[in-house]
Structure 1
Amino acid sequence: MLPAPPLSLLVLALLQGSSLLSPSSAVDCQEVQRIELSRTSGAPQEICVSPGLRTRFVFDSQFTVNLQDEARFVEVIHGRTTLGLLPPGDMGRGERLRLTVYFKEEASSDGVTFVLVARQGQATRQVEVYSDRPSRASFQQEVAQEHANDQRLQSRVEQLQHQLELLRAECDDPSGLRRLLVSGEMDAEGIRARRISVKSGPSSKSLLFMVEGHIYRSSQHVVVAVMLRNASSEPWTADGALLVDKHGKNWKAIRIWASSALLPDSSQLVVLEVRARGQELQGDVTVKLWGAESRGISIHDVPVP
């Protein structure tokens, strides 16, 4: 039977084993790591990385790199002053890979070496590297400007999200009087309406005619709803509409609605909407509706409420 190893050898073996793990455990995985090269001792700077997590280097001048085992990396993105890394998927905890950076403004330099130390599920998201104080100040100003732009963008996104929530609320309650009041669409006079007189049948040209109709007015819009009948043998689809006032001014429809094409020998409701605030549109108007194939209908002497 072999003699047991001396206790001192076991202790030495344990100490040697723990020393192999100590570098990785000593790495502080900061969210953002700032390195000012003018204040470092020249020793390689350790950077915490992890498979599946991106680490982005930001420099204050243009550069080239020499990355150990670059072919193993899932992603290496070179920018003008940035470098994005997605470490190898098989990079084990404690594994160390060298990254040497050469600044173009310092062609004679031996470069700056960083050591990428693998951790599981922890990584430094951004490493900001400053080669000297003046450029550091300039770069900080640029970072601050980008941060301000991000804040403005975030504010705009929040504003759009709020508007989207309001629109969703309106869609959930499309017929509610509350929505009309809050939006300013309905004032104290409410929604006013007039019946449109039926004066004639289909014209020989378009074979379209109105069966019945109404015109409505809110504080901001005028809506015409007419039941049209298609006496032709071809379907008809509304493609455009406008109102012509007594001065000859055209009020183009901002929206036209119909459930489907108007089939031959059938009737269907067609609704058009014109933006007209307050007293902008008064008196009798002519309603003009036309289809994609140019067939249309004109309805005269329509009284605006």
Structure 2
Amino acid sequence: MKRYTSESATLIRQTFLAAFAMLAFLSFQTLAQEAVLHEIVVSKLSGNRVQINLVADGLLNDPGSFSTSSPPRIAFDFFGMKNTVLSDLVAVDSGAVDSVVAVETDDRTRVVINLVHTAEFATNIVDGDFVVTIENTDVNAVRADVAPPIFERPPEIVSSDQIVRVDFRRNEQGGGKVLVDLSSPDVAVDVREQAGEIVVDFIGATLPIELERRLDVIDFATPVQTIDAYNNGTSARFIIVPTGKYQHISFQSDGQFTLVVDPYIESDEVNSSADENGFLGDRLSINFQKIDVRSALAIIADFTG
């Protein structure tokens, strides 16, 4: 029987712990690996339906998504995912699907399904693949076949308004100015504060893909830290993240929307030299019991210069 000294036992224990730590590190690296899209597989199903499998290595996060009716398309944003698909455009030409496009940007991979007409779809994850099933029923045609109630409002016309340009500047008061150029002065804008952030919705306007990004404006030394711009359904949304105490005002002139976020200055800081009654300057005491009005006015005039 082999016997181990205390030094040998210590060495064996340290070796075992080192091997265990290395195994745990490798396992963590595997789990933390970013997802990589490397294949788009298209299958034709019964009823002229189409199934699209996005085959990726790594863990898939729930994507952001939106759809449009003019042109008809469905888009998915996979944040943090890389794209290694050999061809950015996959031609389908089956059912309601015309083609599939995958484009990688700085922080995401966007997969756009171009449709022949609007269609319903369903998503799920099967064996690690993100699966999209496209029906072949024209949603607009189905809705047109249903007679609207007698008092139903007529459908609204889908706006083609777009956001043309986004800019950020610093004003003389140390505040930040968010400037958004619009294709039409008739775009309705909704501005509100929500959970410590300023949310701006441009109703019915779309944001070009090249303008969908995060603007890091910390270096401007204003209350504004970041600006996130993206499409949200049928509207474009901006989320402005400020810091510290601030006050904001927004206005729209012709085709430009402006949001100004200024640092909030306490009234005590503005009137730091004022007394408890809010008055500034030196005190002047006059005994009005033995002085005429003309002399009192002359003294006040000399005192104030």
**In which range does the TM-score fall when normalised by the shorter chain?**
under 0.3
Q: What is the TM-score of this pair, normalised by structure 1? A: 0.23
Q: Tell me the TM-score normalized by structure 2.
A: 0.23
More strand by share: 2
* Structure possessing the higher radius of gyration over alpha carbons: 1
